Chain A
Amino acid sequence: MEIQSRKLLNISFTSVGVMAILLMAISLVVLLFPIFMKGMGAFVFRETVENRELMLQRFGRGNREEVMADVRETEAARKPVYELMERFEEEMSKADSEFRRKYRSEYGDIKEMIGELLGPGPGDREGALIRKRYGKVRMDRALAKLDQILKVETYDYSDTSSMGKKVLKPRREIFSGTTLEPVFTILEKDINKMMKPGLKFYWRFLFDKSQDAHFFGGIWPEVLGTLYLSIGAMIFAIPFGIVAAIYLAEYAGEGRLTRLIRVSISSLAGVPSIVFGLFGLAFFINTMNISNSKSVMAGSLTLALLVLPIIIRASEEAIKSVPRGYREAAMSLGGGKWHTIISVVLPAALPGILTSIIVSLGRAAGETAPIIFTAAVSVGKPLAIWQTLSQPTPALPWSVYNLATEHEAVNEIRHVQYGMVLTLVVLVLLLNLTAIIIRKRVSKKLRR
């Protein structure tokens, strides 16, 4: 080949490589940036007075005097709203039936939405659910609710050839001429006085239990459950994985059987994770009866099976790549085979083995499918360590999915979902980081 074309090939190859890396970096940023920004919304947000009241009453946090002063202040600002509503109700009761028919359902809507925004008003019965006892605790949700109150969403169906068009109409127009009309101006103008927003750094989001199915509070049971599951999986997978790898690399001959075992392990690594989940349910719970319901134990065992092939294959490669000279030197000093493996080969292969553990730890923490049938629930307490043997737990990956699809009030609690995603990503990164640091120190020691 001519030198010129070789150079050209070289350049084009490098540029394609660089492009690929750039593309990956960009997609990583595009992916991680929103996760980070939206996820931070669960930790840092503008809270309203309702949140301070909630924190005081449900968690016993905050200065009672200050919070009560805030509450009184906002109550004073809210008073005109309730007065107007009362006066309108009076007007309705006195007016003729046509007036009543015209406004009854509209007013019912507004009353309901104001209740959602500000919490129960004076004289209202206290709700049974915690979500009914407080107004909007986050300013962004409060403003969205305010928008709904101010503008009514109607659809214009006049064009029969297509779907209706959304029309936003100020609700004030509906009530023009009634005593309720000024309420909209007051709400719009005084929303800050009514809610007293302030910046809140809610780091306890990580360590609080959830209140009222994730409406309020934090995600501690999920975080703890994820830690249990992934560390539990490692407890089962690491010893078995390494022993199997040692056997395959050091003891098993190169026969047809070993080849078959290797192929099996490799294909096991490619089995979809839901299959492991169903297997875990059928084997560990229904057949082995290790617990009489879903449990962390069953989930950990299933996850261990899932990551076992990764650990075995990578550890085997690591053990095999230890130079022959090491073994020969150890043997020549009189060490037996077992002794050689334990004191020479394994330490030398440790960085490689640790890499496989890092990869599988992240995988175990993030997997959803294997734990659906074996360990994960959507509501539960944080478990003590002995309870993990018999009880199921909430876990981050499953709860993210559950909140996104099954929760009855998805739109109100998006921030919790995002917070969980961020926590999961950071948790996996942290677990990996510790493992990476450990690996670095090991290999440094080896080089010495």
Chain B
Amino acid sequence: MIRWIRIFSSILLLTSALSLGTSDSAYAGKADKIVIDGSTTVGPIAKAFAEYYMSNNKDVNITVSESGSGNGAKSLLNKMCNIATMSRFMKDGEFSAAVKNGIMPVAHVVAVDGIAMIVHPSNPIKELSVEKVREIYKGKYTNWKQLGGPDVKIVMISRDTNSGTYETFEKLVMNKERIEENAEYVGSNGAVRQRVQSTPAAIGYVGLGFVDRTVKALTIEGVYPDSRSIASGVYPIARPLYMFTDRYPRLGTHLHAFITLYLTPRGQEIIEEIGFIPVTQYKYNK
């Protein structure tokens, strides 16, 4: 029996030795962590920022998880993360719950994003109005034929209700009207794209950073979603992307340096290269 305990503890020792070898043990004393949770749309920005920041500051461990804007807000108000990434603003309920828990959410607008309506490239439809999109998701149009396409039943793909992209879509496109029951709900931007690229009859909506050559983005109200049309404010379905912190981070902390990264030239380049619009370029039309 004792021998087994010995073997077991030697395995433990071995793994700890392995981990010692790879971590920056010299910094262990002042080790710092930033935990980020939330939106899958803001995910790519958070991940790229985290890696950029960690490569310059070896003593910080920044972890990013993407579980949806709603979960980000929940994590922040449960004090489980330092930064909640959200693709929508906090709701009243979330805000008051946070204040009740002693959290004062502060919003940082890190970038602007357009929600692109995407279809399979084989779909002849190129252009829709916001109203037509709404009618599709309300279930009024069920066949592409009604919109001038072939006689194929429309497959609606939507984000899950935990998603900030869903909330924005509901607000800007649906006018708070209900999405029809047989829409297919999926859990991330990537999953929407995957469903659309493999289903010729599908329509879905994703953040601009997720549009690639495998799907076709639709022109909405005569405006094609690209960085220029979104930055100038003419594309109708655009929204700011947020990072929420508890109070404004203290100057000189890693959290402060990280949360202001989006204002630095490097941060803006990163945002642009991922496919979003830096806030400094956005011209508010209201």
Contacts and interface: CB of A to CB of B under 8 A. Distances in A.
Interface of A: 127-129, 132, 148, 153, 155, 157, 159-166, 211-213, 220, 224, 227-228, 231, 235, 285-286, 292-294, 342, 346-347, 350, 372-373, 376-387, 390-394, 402, 404-411, 438
A98 to B, nearest CB: 21
Contacts of B50: 379
B187 A405 contact: yes
Contacts of B188: 405-406
Contact of A148 (B20, B121, B152, B213): B213
A294 B65 contact: yes
Contacts of B22: 220, 224, 382
A127 B63 contact: no
Nearest to B46: A379
Interface string B55-75: 000000111111100000001
A378 B15 contact: no
B64 A293 contact: no
B23 A378 contact: no
Interface in B205-246: 209-210, 212-214
A104 to B, nearest CB: 14
A392 B65 contact: yes
Interface stretch (B78-86, B88-96, B102-110, B166-174): B78-86
A352 B48 CA distance: 48
Interface of B: 1, 4, 7, 11-12, 15-16, 18-20, 22-23, 25, 28, 31, 33, 35, 40, 43-44, 46-48, 50-52, 54, 61-67, 75, 78-81, 120-124, 149-152, 187-191, 193-194, 200-201, 209-210, 212-214, 266, 269-270, 273-275
Contact of A406 (B15, B33, B51, B66): B66
A216 to B, nearest CB: 11
Q: In the complex, which of the residues A128, A346, A347, A392 has the most CB atoms of chain B within 10 Å of its own CB atom?
A: A128
Q: In the complex, which of the residues B22, B50, B75, B191 has the most CB atoms of chain A within 10 Å of its own CB atom?
A: B22
B66 A384 contact: no
A378 B47 contact: yes
Contacts of A402: 66
Contact of A164 (B7, B18, B123, B270): B123
30 contacts: A127-B273, A128-B52, A129-B270, A153-B213, A163-B152, A163-B201, A212-B48, A212-B51, A213-B44, A231-B11, A286-B80, A293-B81, A294-B35, A294-B80, A346-B1, A373-B67, A377-B35, A379-B62, A380-B64, A381-B23, A384-B19, A391-B61, A392-B63, A393-B63, A405-B190, A406-B43, A407-B190, A410-B194, A411-B212, A438-B4
The 5 A-B residue pairs with the shortest CB-CB distance in the complex, in nearest-first order: A128-B269, A384-B23, A380-B63, A157-B124, A377-B63
B218 to A, nearest CB: 14
Contacts of B67: 372-373
B65 A376 contact: yes
A408 B192 CA distance: 11
Contact of A213 (B1, B7, B47, B266): B47
B149 to A, nearest CB: 8
Nearest to A434: B11
A382 B19 contact: yes
Contacts of B121: 153, 155, 164, 166
A408 B64 contact: no
A213 B47 CA distance: 7
Q: In the complex, which of the residues A384, A390, A391, A411 has the most CB atoms of chain B within 10 Å of its own CB atom?
A: A384
A350 B4 CA distance: 10
Nearest to B54: A381
A227 B47 contact: no
Given A153-B121, A378-B47, A383 B66 contact: no
Contacts of B62: 379-380
Contact of A405 (B33, B46, B194, B213): B194
A347 B189 contact: no
Given A405-B191, A411-B212, 12 more contacts: A128-B273, A162-B151, A163-B120, A166-B121, A213-B48, A342-B1, A379-B46, A379-B51, A380-B64, A387-B23, A405-B194, A408-B189
Contacts of B20: 384-385
B33 A163 contact: no
Given A129-B270, A212-B51, A377-B65, A383 B15 contact: no
A50 to B, nearest CB: 18
B124 A380 contact: no
